[in-house]
Amino acid sequence: MDKIIKLHDKSFSPFISKEKIENEISRVARQINKDYQGKKPLLVGILNGSILFFSDLLKQLDIECEVAFLRVSSYKGTETTGNVKKVLGLDKDINNTDVIIVEDIVDTGITLENIFKDLSSNNPKSLKVATLLFKPKAYTKNYPIDYVGFEVGNEFLVGYGLDYDEIGRNLDEIYIIKENTMHNIILFGPPGAGKGTQSELIQAKYNLTHLSTGDMFRFHMKNDTALGKKAKEYMEAGNLVPDELVIKMIENKLDESNNSKGYIFDGFPRTTDQAIALDELLSKKGSQINSMIALEVEEDELVKRLLLRGQESQRKDDQDESIIRNRMVVYNKETAPLKDFYSNQDKFIGVNGLGTIEEINERINEAIDA
C-alpha cells in the first residue's frame, strides 16, 4: 500500500491498509456477537457504499441474523448534497425486530437521520448503527453510533466501498484525497545567471528540497549503483545519458524524500521532451510543476560574470569567451524553448537577474509568494 492512485481528476494516497480494516471488522464483529447472543437481528446494509464492509462483517458473525438493504444517496463528487433520496426501499417487516444499520461511513449524519426516521416508523424492537468509518467533527446529529471501526477526520476518502463519482469502490484498501500542497519550482536561466546561489536561498526560506541532476549523477556513479553503472556506460562511450535514465534517478530521489514540501529542479528539464516526461512523473506522484522561474540576464553581462568566475575558480570553460558564447548558443537553441512550453501552461515567470544577490532573491520570493 504505497502508491498514489488517480480517479477521474483527483489523486489519492494510501490511508488505511487492508490488514487494519480486517482487524477492526473482527473487533466490531466480536462486540456484535456478544451483544446479540441469543437474538436474531436484521442487518440493513446501506447501498452502495457498505457492500464490502457488510459482506466481511457478515462472515464473522456467529449469531443467527437476517439481511436486507436500503439504497440512498446524498453525495455528488466529493461533497454531500444535503438531499437524501431513497432509491430502493426495505422489503422486510421490521416490527418488534432488532435492527442494525450497517454503513460504510457516517459524516454529517444527514443520510443516517433519514434512515432512522424511516425505520423507526416501522416499530423496530431496537435500532443500532454499525459503521466502518465515523467523522465525529463533521457529525451534526444526536443519534448514537454504536459500533465504529475507525474515527477519521473530514478529508474525502475512497476505496473499500467508498466511491468518487461511482468509481473506486472495488479497492481493497482506503485512500485519502491528496491535496497538492507541495510547491515545485524549476529555476531556469543561462550559465552565469546565478541559479546555484539563488537555489540555496530559496531552499532555506521555503524548506524545499534542492534536486540537481548533476548531484544525482555524481552520487550514483560514486556509489556504483545500478543507475550509476548504466549512466557511466553511456558517458564512457561518448553518448548522452538517455532521458529515461535521468527520469528514473529523479523518481528515486522523489521517493526518498516524499515528505518534502516541494522541490527546486536545477539542471532539469533541459528540453521539451524532458519537460513532458517530468510532468508525467509528477502526475503519477499526484503533484505538478507550479512555476518555472527564469533569471533573465543579457548575454554580455553573463559573459562578464563567467569570465570573472573563471579567474576565481580556475574553471577552464569559464576562462575562454568563445567557449562561453558557444554555451549561450547551445542554451538558446536547446533550452530556451522551454519558456514556450511553460508559458502555455501559464507557469512561466521571468525575473530580472540584475542587481545584488539580495535584490534578485527578493524578486524571486515575490514571484513564489504570488
**Active-site annotation, residues:** 103-104, 107, 156, 169
Rounded to an integer, what distance in angstroms lies between the CA atom of residue 366 and that of residue 370?
Answer: 6
Q: How far is CA 216 from CA 209, 246, 248, 249, 273, in A?
A: 13, 9, 11, 7, 20
Please report how many Cα atoms fall inside a 13 Å half-sphere around the Cα of residue 368, on the Cβ side.
Answer: 25
Unique residue bearing C-alpha cell 432509491 = 87
Q: What angle do CA 364, 330, 217 make, to 5 degrees?
A: 70
Q: Going by C-beta distance under 8 Å and a sequence separation of 6 or more, which residues neighbour residue 39?
A: 63, 98
Ranges assigned E (strand) in 50-156: 66-76, 79-88, 98-106, 126-134, 147-151
Q: Which DSSP symbol is given to 167? A: B
CB 83 within 8 A of CB 115: no
Three-class SS state of 273: helix
CB 269 within 8 A of CB 338: yes
Of 361, 321, 320, the residue nearest 187 (C-alpha): 361
